[in-house]
Amino acid sequence: MQSGKAIFVGNIKGGVGKSTLAVYLTDYLRERYATRSVMLLDTDPQGTAFEMMRPLSRADDIRFLPIGDRYDGVSMTTLDGILRRMLSQDESVTIVDTGAGKLGNVWQMAMLCSTVLVPTSMSWTDLRPTIDFIKELDDRKEDYGVLNPHVIVVPNRTSPSQKNFGQLAEALEEVNAIMAPPISDLSIARSHGRDFHGFDAVSGTRFSDEIKRLGEFIIDYVISGELDRIYQRA
């Protein structure tokens, strides 16, 4: 039996696809693991992920706990309790969506998670703050002498024909992170944002195939515990 896993979706940069990836990954994993508990926790004050997923969720597998620049002790305490409870449950999966900005008040929650999923475009406007965000995570892990959370960068808004990710790979040499399969276009997902019907609604599209590929990557390396084993051996 596997212990619970939590995936923190974050980036200092806004508009890079955090909420979109969080909801589609949550919905994909719920379809993939019908018997497992897959919870979505939305800490972004905008509540986009919560509003999109609420019609498709049970009351006990989605929560909106907004945490902004001002400290919110109630939300933080509740979030901490839910995360720890989920992590104690074998085979549970928790996705934590976050707002733009530095780790700030939620860094403790990130440190509880197995993985931080960091979406970014290939644009240097997005890439530079993304690297700064990962460096902050690296510094926190070094301060506490821990290996988790592992950082996985998801390239998005890439060309469907793009094969060379050398620019991103070179940037990641500055930090402790690995690269996930890319997402080429979030526009179809955003077009469904106001009338969200989940993963099935984008079936047959390139985006659907890419979310499935990303989901299987997360299953193979995060949920299985393989990434933990790789880092422990290193």
Q: Is the pLDDT of residue 2 over 60?
A: no
Residue 72: predicted pLDDT: 67
Give helix 18-32 / helix 206-218 axis angle, nearest 10°: 70
Q: Which domain holds residue 104?
A: 5-233
Phi/psi for 62 (5° steps) reads: -150, 140
Q: Over the stretch 32-63, which tens digit does the pLDDT of each residue have?
A: 998 899 999 999 989 999 999 999 999 999 99
Higher pLDDT, 74 or 126: 126
- Please give the pLDDT value at position 31: 93
- Convert the pLDDT of each residue in 132-151 to its tens digit: 999 999 999 999 899 899 99
Count of domains for the chain: 1
Between CA 77 and CA 142, with CA 113 as vertex, the angle to 5 degrees is 105
Q: What is the mean pLDDT of the chain?
A: 86
pLDDT-based confidence at residue 1 (cuts at 50, 70, 90): very low
Element (H, E) at 218: helix 206-218
Q: In this structure, are residues 43 and 103 in contact, taking their beta carbons and an 8 Å threshold?
A: no
pLDDT one-digit tens code per residue, 150-197: 999 999 876 656 566 777 778 788 888 999 998 886 666 656 556 778
Give the largest CA-CA distance in the chain.
47
Q: What is the pLDDT of residue 217?
A: 96
In sequence order, the 6+-apart residues with CB closer than 8 A to the CB of 53 are 23, 26, 27, 40, 42, 62, 196
**Claim: this prediction has a pTM higher than 0.85:** yes
The domain that contains 94 carries what CATH number?
Answer: 3.40.50.300
Q: Return phi, psi of residue 144, to 5°.
A: -95, -5
**What burial class does residue 30 get, using C-beta atoms within 10 Å of its C-beta: 0-12 exposed, 13-18 middle, 19+ buried?**
buried
Q: What is the mean pLDDT of residues 84-112?
A: 87
Distance of alpha carbon 181 from alpha carbon 184, whole angstroms? 10
The reported pLDDT for the residue numbered 70 is: 62
User: Is residue 125 very low, low, confident or very high in pLDDT (cuts 50, 70, 90)?
Assistant: confident
Q: Write out the H or E segment, with its range, that includes residue 118.
A: strand 115-120
